[in-house]
Structure 1
Amino acid sequence: MRRSVLYDHDIRRSALHRAERLSALTATERDMIRLVNEPGFQRWMEQIHSIGGCAAPVYLSGATTTRDAATGEVLRSYDTGNEPGGRLAVRCRNRRESRCVPCSYLHAGDTFHLVRAGLLGGKGTPPGVADHPRLFVTLTAPSFGTVHRTTASAERCRPRRDGGLCEHGRALGCGLTHDTDSSAVGQPLCPDCYDYPAHALWHAHAGELWNRTTRAIRRHLATSAGITQTDLGRHLRVSFAKVAEYQRRGAVHFHAVIRLDGPDGPNAPPPGWATAELLGAVVHAAAGVVSVRTPYAPGLGEHVFRWGTQLDVHPIRALGDDAHINDQAVAAYVAKYVSKSVGDCGGTDRAVASLDDIALLPVTAHIRALMSTCWRLDRLPELGYLRLRAWAHTLGFRGHVLTKSRRYSTTYGALRVVRAEHRAQGDGPSLPESDGTRTDSVWRYVGSGHTPAEAEIATGIAADLADLAAIRRELTADRGRPDG
């Protein structure tokens, strides 16, 4: 009896110690222990690995069946009934690095290949485009008020020998030096002097300003050749790809690749008179004359928007040339910014529902003022067509981060199809494409995102895959060296 009592006491004490250890764990750690002991954990890990450690996966439930169209014989089938939780994880495909690093990295890679194909050929684009006139152009927003800027160590921000105050009693200059990480960079010297309505409305019309610029480029090319704009298509075509980037002051500017092709697009060179020098002059002329006029609104009047005074136009050199702006560098530069968002200038990449939401956001006072301005301008009937409330979180900018002309190069969709086919071949033998098959699929959305424990594991998987990719790149580079 004594031994039995002591044994029961030891069991209770051991259970108590285990309970104390469990209570000391965080909720995430307890959730991770539960997750690891789930019977489908290994298969869930395989799913997350297959989608690159996506930070916000979408979960689907359903089935797909491929049959022979003539006999009805089932050739291949898949059902999520045997998956953990009866669901399958797929990528969120969010391009923003702030939302999902693995998917933004994949999207940036697709962008690199898309832009590079338009410069060097490949992915369905003929290699002859490398010999066509090509420019790398940067178009900026105009000034809406003086802002603090990044300075070199020996320079001051906005030096003014005579000092002076604005009408609101604030200094017209700044004698300090600001490094790149300074929170003052991009903030207005006087918020009351800053033209927030013009800033928001310029963003709303930036896309139309770009459209008018491309039309003006074609018009100036036709004039330079002594032909009508209607006849220009018989001689050449203008192709482009552009990306939008937010500056620290919260204003969008555009980086664009502009290329001249023959009348059949990239398959033929343009005529001899269509040179890179002529294209550069035409871009300067077009950017200097285009404008967009807003409708009159009470209390605002009307605005006429143009590009800013800073305009950079550079010819794109071949990769082997000793030049800073070459094919590879331009493609990498554009790909870098496609994963950025308004969050990189201190804003948020999520839509807002009210002025109270804007007031509570952890953003700078400058960004909050721009968002609030968009919200208030939307009340004006004359500006209702701009839907500024829906785009308040992007500071009024309504365009896609990357746009291109139809014949510039391949598409994101085509790149994704090729990647999916490559992965299918790697997973095992795939059925040949045939018109004699019929595929029936039924899918439905059942959830998205990770628990905190799942998020930690997914982050680790993404980091491992990124390290592996870096090692592969180094090995490839070593093999490409003469002494490799």
Structure 2
Amino acid sequence: MRHLSEADRDALRIAQDLRFPRWLQQITATGGCAHPVHLSGSTTTVDGTTGEILHHYDTRNEPGERLLIRCRNRRASICPACSRLHARDTFHLVRAGLIGGKNIPTTVRARPRLFVTLTAPSFGPVHRAGLICRPRRDGGTCEHGRPLGCPTVHAPADPLVGQPVCPDCYDYTGHVLWHAHASKLWDRFVIDVRRRLASSAGVVQSRFARHARLSFARIAEYQKRAAVHVHAVVRLDGPDGPTDEPPPWGTPDRLTRAVNASAQRVTVRTPYSPAVGEVELSWGTQADVRVLHADGDGPDDDAVAAYVAKYVTKGTDETGAGTDRKVTTRDDINTAPVSRHVRTLMHTCWRLGDLPEYEPLRLRTWTHTLGYRGHILTKSRVYSTTYAALRAERAHHLGHTDIPDAITDAYWRYVGSGHTPGAALIAAGVAEDLAECRRLSAEASQQGGGVDNSSAQA
């Protein structure tokens, strides 16, 4: 007889429990969440006029006297089930800002819209995939005695891709400081685009908001060289947002020129440090700006939304640009499963984080993300719907409706999280089954002439 593992024995114990069906219902309701939150408590809904109890729920009637809810972690490396749900929500959030829906008018599709990619500057030559990595006819070496060129044709999966040609020449300090100021650089970029639009249209810059509104949704993605670059959907509306038409001067061409100019000229200066000096930071030279046309001539709206949704679930573990778990000591850095290049970036974060002039940057806190402190996905206030609205809509579809004139009294407390080994095994199976069902449903919808964007695109 095959020897059963601890997880198998635990799974059998759970399955033999009389309350297993109800426990499985909870696991299924969380989508097979890998690290559910355990809550204990009760909720009572009463009629505000008569005092009649309309609904009462208490976890004392549940297995283990607790309710399991989703962890809502966006990272696929931590919770595949919740990351898939987050990706679907992101797809709908970005898509609504492109073509309407979710209380956004469909007229936004005819607005000036761009898909913008902004990169980090070069901090030193790195190995590249594709043709000859770094051809040099004259050869030559750097000041550290390493070859300046690389005649190898690297495959995309080659571990050398993204690694510095000479680690000693690479500007690790500049790389970390750029990450720490990337969000500020984006904010200044958006402000500068507004100013350039106003100037080109003959509008007083301080009165731009009376004429138009710049809306956006942006996502940060780590490149092979462990530097963040930004993908953004940028849209020009009237002053009231998506319900308002932009002024006649608000054209895709004018918006494109403003974006390109701002990407080339916006800078941020770091605080002065006796050890580093004052560093001027800017975007890289490889900016890409594409107009999104309503007639489909150019990047497809659904493809753009799906592209953004794909990257929102990737953590630094998955991209190889750091780790998803915070580090608290140098030993954590030394034992992290990362490349030498990334480890050096983490050590640089740790070293710079000890300088008093960089204390506001909290570099040691963000060592695991190589100093990048911004959210993976950010959007302007009226670009489209919100994650909260999407969750509320999903709850409504599941039957969780509001009752007029009702009063709800709820008491909940946190009592734990995660799974036992056997429970984790069962939850993973549930998550895989649900994912397969969505895939088959999407295929059936496409074969029938429709497209189920909630699953197929995300």
When the two chains are superposed, the root-mean-square deviation of aligned CA atoms in Å is 1.4
Corresponding position of 1:340: 314
Structure 2: how far apart are the matches of 1:350 and 1:60? 24
What is the CA–CA distance in structure 1 between the aligned matches of 2:129 and 2:315, rounded to whole Å? 20
The answer to whether structure 1 residue 178 and structure 2 residue 154 are counterparts is yes
The residue that corresponds to 2:453 in the other structure is none
Contact 2:133–2:154 (Cα < 8 Å) also in 1: yes
> How far is the alpha carbon of 1:70 from its aligned partner?
3.2
Aligned to 1:14: none
User: How far is the alpha carbon of 1:159 from its aligned partner?
Assistant: 1.4
Which of 390, 394, 401 is the equivalent residue of 1:415? 390
Aligned twin of 1:200 = 176
Report the CA distance between 1:73 and its aligned residue. Answer: 2.0
How much does 1:266 deviate? 1.0
Pair member with larger Rg: 1
**CA separation in 2, counterparts of 1:216 and 1:79?**
54
Query: 1:238 is matched with which residue?
Result: 214
Q: Secondary structure at the match of 1:292?
A: strand
Deviations along 1:65-120, whole A, 9 cap, x unmatched?
01122332211010011111001110010001111111111101111101111111
Query: In the TM superposition, what are the counterparts of 1:104-183 in structure 2 within 5 Å?
Result: 104-151=83-130, 155-183=131-159
- Map 1:270-285 to 2 at 5 A: 270-285=246-261
Q: What SS class does the counterpart of residue 256 from structure 1 fall into?
A: strand
After superposition, the C-alpha distances for 1:387-423 in whole angstroms (9 at most, x for unaligned) are 0011000000000001111111111001100101111
Please tell me whether the aligned partners of residues 157 and 176 of structure 1 are also in contact (alpha carbons under 8 angstroms). Answer: yes
2-structure distance, mates of 1:42, 1:57? 18
What is the rounded CA distance, in whole Å, between the counterparts of 1:364 and 1:86 in structure 2?
45
* CA deviation vs aligned residue, 1:185-238 (integer Å, no higher than 9, x gap): 111111111111110000000000000000000000010011111221221111
In the alignment, what sits opposite 1:424? Answer: 399
Question: Residue type of the partner of 1:467?
Answer: E
Task: Name the counterpart of 2:39.
Answer: 60
Q: List aligned pairs for 1:94-105, cutoff 5 A.
A: 94-105=73-84
Is the 2:185–2:266 Cα contact (8 Å) retained in structure 1?
yes
1:240 is paired with a residue whose SS is: strand
* 2:228 is the alignment partner of 1:252: yes
- 1:208-223 superposed matches below 5 A: 208-223=184-199
Partner Cα separation in structure 2 for residue 74 and residue 196 of structure 1: 63
3-state SS, counterpart of residue 399 of structure 2 = helix
Rounded Cα–Cα distance in structure 2 between residues aligned with 1:150 and 1:449: 40
Structure 2 equivalent of residue 331 of structure 1: 305
**Separation in structure 2 between the aligned mates of residue 480 and residue 364 of structure 1, nearest angstrom:** 46
Any idea what SS the aligned residue of 1:270 has?
A: coil
Q: Amino acid of the residue matched to residue 28 of structure 1?
A: A
Q: Distance in 1 between matches of 2:240 and 2:297?
A: 31
Contact residue 110 and residue 293 of structure 2 kept, 8 A: no
State the alpha-carbon separation in 1 of the partners of residues 142 and 315 from structure 2. Answer: 33
Instruction: Report the Cα distance in structure 1 between the residues aligned to 2:31 and 2:207, rounded to whole angstroms.
Output: 49
Aligned residue for 1:373, secondary structure, equals helix
User: 1:476 and 2:455 equivalent?
Assistant: no
Give how far 1:265 is off: 1.1
**Residue equivalent to 2:363:** 388
1:419 corresponds to which letter in structure 2? R
Q: Which residue of 2 aligns with 1:316?
A: 292
Which among 430, 439, 444 is matched to residue 413 of structure 2?
A: 444
Runs of 4+ in 1 over 3 A off after TM superposition: none
Rounded Cα–Cα distance in structure 1 between residues aligned with 2:260 and 2:430: 48
Contact 1:241–1:403 (CA<8 Å) still a contact in 2? yes
- The residue identity in structure 1 corresponding to 2:433 is D
Secondary structure at the residue paired with 2:441? Answer: helix
C-alpha separation between the residues in 2 aligned to 1:118 and 1:44? 39
Please, which of 280, 285, 289 is the counterpart of residue 265 of structure 2?
Answer: 289
What secondary structure does 1:76 align onto? strand
Question: With structure 2 as the length reference, what TM-score do the two structures score?
Answer: 0.96
Secondary structure at the aligned position of 2:448 is classed as: helix
Contact 1:245 1:341 in 2 (8 A): no
Q: Which residue of the partner structure matches residue 305 of structure 1?
A: 281
Q: Which amino acid aligns with 2:366?
A: W
Aligned to 2:202: 226
Gaps of 5+ in 2: 451-458
Unaligned runs of 5+ in 1: 1-20
8 Å Cα contact 1:246/1:341 also seen in 2 = no
1:235-281 Cα distance to aligned partner (Å, 9 max, x none): 11111110000001110000001101012211121112211011001
Letter in 2 for 1:161: R
**Match of 1:480, SS?**
coil
In the alignment, does 2:397 pair up with 1:397? no
Secondary structure, counterpart of 1:424 in structure 2: coil
Tell me, yes or no, if the aligned pair for 1:145 and 1:194 is still in contact at 8 Å.
Answer: yes
Write the letter of the residue equivalent to 1:267: T
Percent of residue pairs identical:
58
Q: Distance in 2 between matches of 1:241 and 1:289?
A: 21
Amino acid at match of 2:425: E
The total of aligned residue pairs comes to 450
Distance (whole Å) between structure 1 residues aligned to residue 333 and residue 137 of structure 2: 39
Q: Which has the higher contact order (CA 8 A, sep 6+)?
A: 2
Please say if residues 246 and 344 of structure 1, whose CA atoms lie closer than 8 Å, have aligned partners that are also in contact. no
Superposition deviation, residue 322 in structure 1: 4.8
